Structure 1
């Protein structure tokens, strides 16, 4: 009898625990979001939650001035960098960091923390800071109902990170190493191996030409590429390099070849590019 009573009690307790484990699915008050952006050769991801104003006064009230803010809602906002980056002129190693901020009326202090495990700013300690820097805060004409993090002003090696909520906006720039990595790769795959691969030769020539490096070397590579395996896009680059070197007759010939190949391939974009290039040459 006693054993039977114990079994009934255990069954009752198990049913109770199971009931507590059940949850009703409802929309999040501050939905989670994840954004990713390639900056140069670096993959940057941001995991954060997006609170809305909902008629409330945000900065100076809900988010007090002069106090550490989680820069979002719920768990801390997390940035991940696949390679080393630079922020405010300082190196940030590859890895994950929590982004905190201390809002002010005209200037914010931004904080990258090595502690990524906190719920918001509860338990935040300055001893975990990797980096602090200040950014100006500006007033926007548009009202942002929901907090937003975005990437803007993308270049080959940098991007601006923008934080916008209510009518306040702050931006900071992150930069990445690109040229040393690309040059090392060209050295390894093209120069050291003395490659004859047309695709690699084209890529190396394109990088040298675009970044104002050794133009005769770029020409040597693009000639080798187009002589062995001409394509309308490689011939177009050859024409541009020849024009930059003052070889107008050769440039005109290459541009016309590129145009003819593009027409055959039914690529109107390159047809137009070559037509405009021919006008420049003439």
Structure 2
């Protein structure tokens, strides 16, 4: 019995020593993680990056017409902190495996709710959350290593771009910014009756930029500048007055903003106000 215990302990020690002495080597397809704030949504992509290594990729290594894991090793995982819109469909916040079916002239992109697979092994269409088409673009410059990136950013959306070898495909991710911002304004300003000048300025700015109730925006910016008058708040007030047709008031407010900007040494706002005044003449 003692010999058996001693043998077991010796085996465990050897196993632990073997594990501790593993040789660390570069991965053939190193893992990567990219993150981007899109609107008010955190979007992340966890994937692996294979290289061409003198191989023909699409149509050979990655066959046309078959489900591909958009990378290497485990499934590529796309995460959203809020609901998003892809190809006109609302996608709930969460994590999804990103797959593709490459083709010569058309690709099918897939978001699957099963993120646990090794690559596409065991993939089932029943797990699809969405399938949609996209058109591949031929690149002039070869991309040796597979790359996923964000491009063409706006306040509400971004393209997600996949590039490898001489091929690029992308698709649009749109986020629902307005409902989230309006909910905050309702909570803090409309229902909460906040008197914080910075919050009032932010609410007025959002209403002005998005062409909402300009009279309400005017009330908020007036309350803001009464409590804390700055060159940028006065400039916004001038723009709102101009939008309401109060040209004379807008010019006078812009002049006040110029004086405040000059005192602060901000020539950018001096120029902005001068151009606003010129546009109102």
TM-score bracket for the superposition, by shorter chain length: over 0.9
Map of 1:269 onto structure 2: 268
Q: CA RMSD in A?
A: 1.8
Map of 1:43 onto structure 2: 42
* CA deviations over 1:112-140 (Å, ceiling 9, x no partner): 11111111111111121111111111111
Mapping of residues 194-273 of structure 1, within 5 Å = 194-273=193-272
Cα distance in 2 between the residues matched to 1:228 and 1:9? 80
Cα distance in 2 between the residues matched to 1:17 and 1:184? 57
Residue 183 of structure 1 aligns to a residue in which SS?
A: helix
Bigger drift between 253-262 and 269-278 goes to 269-278
Quote how far apart the aligned CAs of 1:188 are: 2.2
Quote how far apart the aligned CAs of 1:103 are: 0.5
**TM-score in terms of structure 2 length:** 0.93
Cα distance in 1 between the residues matched to 2:192 and 2:80? 32
Residue 277 of structure 1 aligns to a residue in which SS?
A: helix
Map of 2:168 onto structure 1: 169
Residue 18 of structure 1 aligns to a residue in which SS?
A: helix
Quote how far apart the aligned CAs of 1:39 are: 1.3
* CA deviations over 1:137-172 (Å, ceiling 9, x no partner): 111112111111111121221111111111111111
Cα distance in 2 between the residues matched to 1:193 and 1:70? 48
Bigger drift between 7-16 and 202-211 goes to 7-16
* CA deviations over 1:165-184 (Å, ceiling 9, x no partner): 11111111111111122222
Map of 2:59 onto structure 1: 60
Residue 138 of structure 2 aligns to a residue in which SS?
A: strand
Cα distance in 1 between the residues matched to 2:191 and 2:12? 69
**TM-score in terms of structure 1 length:** 0.93
Unmatched 5+ stretches in structure 1: none
Map of 1:14 onto structure 2: 12
Which 4+ residue blocks in structure 1 deviate beyond 4 angstroms? 5-8
Map of 1:104 onto structure 2: 103
| Aligned length, in residue pairs | 280
Cα distance in 2 between the residues matched to 1:222 and 1:13? 75
Map of 1:281 onto structure 2: 280
Quote how far apart the aligned CAs of 1:11 are: 4.9
Quote how far apart the aligned CAs of 1:253 are: 2.0
Quote how far apart the aligned CAs of 1:56 are: 1.0
Residue 79 of structure 1 aligns to a residue in which SS?
A: strand
Residue 106 of structure 1 aligns to a residue in which SS?
A: coil
Unmatched 5+ stretches in structure 2: none
Quote how far apart the aligned CAs of 1:98 are: 0.4
Residue 33 of structure 2 aligns to a residue in which SS?
A: strand
Quote how far apart the aligned CAs of 1:280 are: 2.7
Cα distance in 1 between the residues matched to 2:181 and 2:150? 23
Map of 2:156 onto structure 1: 157
